[in-house]
Amino acid sequence: MDTQKKGKAGPREWWGLVVLLLPTMMLTADLGVLWLATPYITADLRPSSAELLWITDIYGFMTSGFLVVMGTLGDRGGRRRLLLMGAAAYLLLELAMLASAVAAGPALLIGARALLGIAGAAILPSTLSLISAMFTDPSQRTRAISLWATALALGVGLGPVFGGLLLGGLWWGWVFMMGAPVMVLVLMAGPRLLPEHRDPSAGRLDLVSVVLFLLGVLPVVYAVKRVAENGWQAPAIAAGVAGLAFAYLFTRRQRRLTSPLLDLRLFADRSFAAALTVLFVGMMALNSVEYLVPQFLQLVGGLSPLAGGLWLLPSAATFLLGSQLTPVMARRFQPAYVIAGGTLISLIGYVMAVQATTPLAAAVAVTAIMLGVGPISVLGTDLAVSAAPPERAGSAAAAGQTAYDLGLAMGIAIPGSIAVAVYRDRMTASTPAGTPSEAAHAAQDTLGAAIAAAEHLPGSVAAQLSQAAKDAFISGFQAAATVSAALGVIVIVVAVTALRRRQAAATQAQPQRARVAP
CA distance 105 to 107: 5
> What pLDDT, on a 0 to 100 scale, did the predictor assign at position 512?
37
pLDDT beyond 50 at 2: no
Do 4 and 138 lie in a common domain? Answer: yes
Task: Report if residue 262 sits inside a domain.
Answer: no
Burial of 500 by CB count in 10 Å (0-12 exposed, 13-18 middle, 19+ buried)? middle
Whether 201 is covered by a domain: the verdict is no
Residue 513 has pLDDT above 70, yes or no: no
Residues 267-292, mean pLDDT to the nearest whole number: 88
Residue 200 lies in a domain: no
Please, which pLDDT band fits residue 278 given cuts at 50, 70 and 90?
A: very high
Tens digits of per-residue pLDDT, 353-373?
999 989 899 999 999 999 998
Write the CATH number for 70: 1.20.1250.20
Tell me, what's the pLDDT at 172? 81
Q: Is residue 274 part of a domain?
A: yes
Q: Residue 503: pLDDT band by 50, 70, 90 thresholds?
A: low
Q: How many residues does the chain have?
A: 518
Q: What is the pLDDT of residue 307?
A: 86
Q: Is the same domain home to 328 and 434?
A: yes
User: CA quadruple 272, 274, 278, 280: dihedral positive or negative?
Assistant: positive
My answer on whether 97 and 18 are in the same domain is yes
C-alpha triplet 11, 122, 261: angle, nearest 5°: 125
Residues 409 and 276 in one domain: yes
Find, among 378, 341, 365, 311, the residue nearest to 146 by Cα. 378
Q: What is the pLDDT of residues 286-309, one digit of tens each?
A: 888 888 898 899 889 888 888 888
Residues 315 and 219 in one domain: no
Tell me the C-alpha distance between 383 and 397, whole Å: 9
Q: Is residue 148 part of a domain?
A: yes
Number of domains in the chain: 3
| CB-based contacts of 132, cutoff 8 Å, min separation 6 | 141, 510, 511, 514
Most confident of 216-220, 478-482, 512-516: 478-482
Same domain? For 190 and 223 the reply is: no
Global confidence as pTM: 0.82
Domain limits for position 231: 207-256
- Mean pLDDT confidence for 447-469: 86
pLDDT, mean over the chain = 83
d(CA 367, CA 293): 11
Average pLDDT rounded to a whole number, residues 217-243: 82
* Contact between residue 426 and residue 476 where contact means Cβ atoms under 8 Å apart: yes
* 20/6 Cα distance (integer angstroms): 20
Query: Per residue in 118-173, pLDDT tens?
Result: 888 888 778 877 887 888 887 787 778 778 877 877 777 677 778 888 887 778 88
- Dist. CA 397–CA 388, nearest whole Å: 9
**Does residue 340 share a domain with residue 279?**
yes
Claim to verify: residue 12 and residue 98 sit in the same structural domain: yes
The least confident of 225-234, 264-273, 335-344 is 225-234
pLDDT of 391 reads 65
Confidence band for 471, pLDDT divided at 50, 70 and 90: very high
Same domain assignment for residues 247 and 325: no
Helix (H) or strand (E) holding 495: helix 459-498
Structural element, H or E, at residue 264: none
Rounded Cα distance, 499 and 64, in Å: 24
Element (H, E) at 268: none
On whether the CB atoms of residues 516 and 367 are closer than 8 A, the answer is no
Query: Residue 514: its pLDDT value, please?
Result: 34
- Confidence class for position 504, pLDDT limits 50, 70, 90: low
Centre a 10 Å sphere on the Cβ of residue 103 and count the other Cβ atoms it contains.
Answer: 11
Contacts of residue 235, Cβ cutoff 8 Å, sequence gap at least 6: 226
| 6 in any annotated domain | yes
The per-residue pLDDT for 201 is 64
- Name the region of 434 (left: φ>0; alpha: ψ -120 to 50; beta: rest): left
Same domain? For 246 and 282 the reply is no
Residue 263 falls within a domain, yes or no?
no
Residues 184 and 308 in one domain: no
Query: Are 113 and 146 contacting, i.e. CB atoms less than 8 angstroms apart?
Result: no
Rg (alpha carbons) of the chain, rounded to whole number: 22
Q: Does 170 lie in the same domain as 235?
A: no
- Tens digit of each residue's pLDDT (9 = 90 or more) over 407-423: 888 888 888 888 988 99
Domain boundary among 235, 256, 277: 256
pLDDT tens track for 51-100: 887 888 788 778 877 877 787 777 777 889 999 999 999 999 888 888 77
Q: Please say if the pLDDT value at position 10 is more than 60.
A: yes
**Looking at residue 456, what is its pLDDT?**
81
Asked if pLDDT for residue 200 goes beyond 70, the answer is no
More confident residue, 329 or 227: 329
Rounded to 5°, angle at Cα 500 from 498 and 504: 105
What pLDDT sits at residue 93? Answer: 87
Whether the per-residue pLDDT at 484 is higher than 90: the answer is yes
Is residue 261, in this structure, part of any structural domain at all? no
* DSSP track, 45-84: H---HHHHHHHHHHHHHHHHHHHHHHHHHHHHH-HHHHHH
CA distance 69 to 515: 10
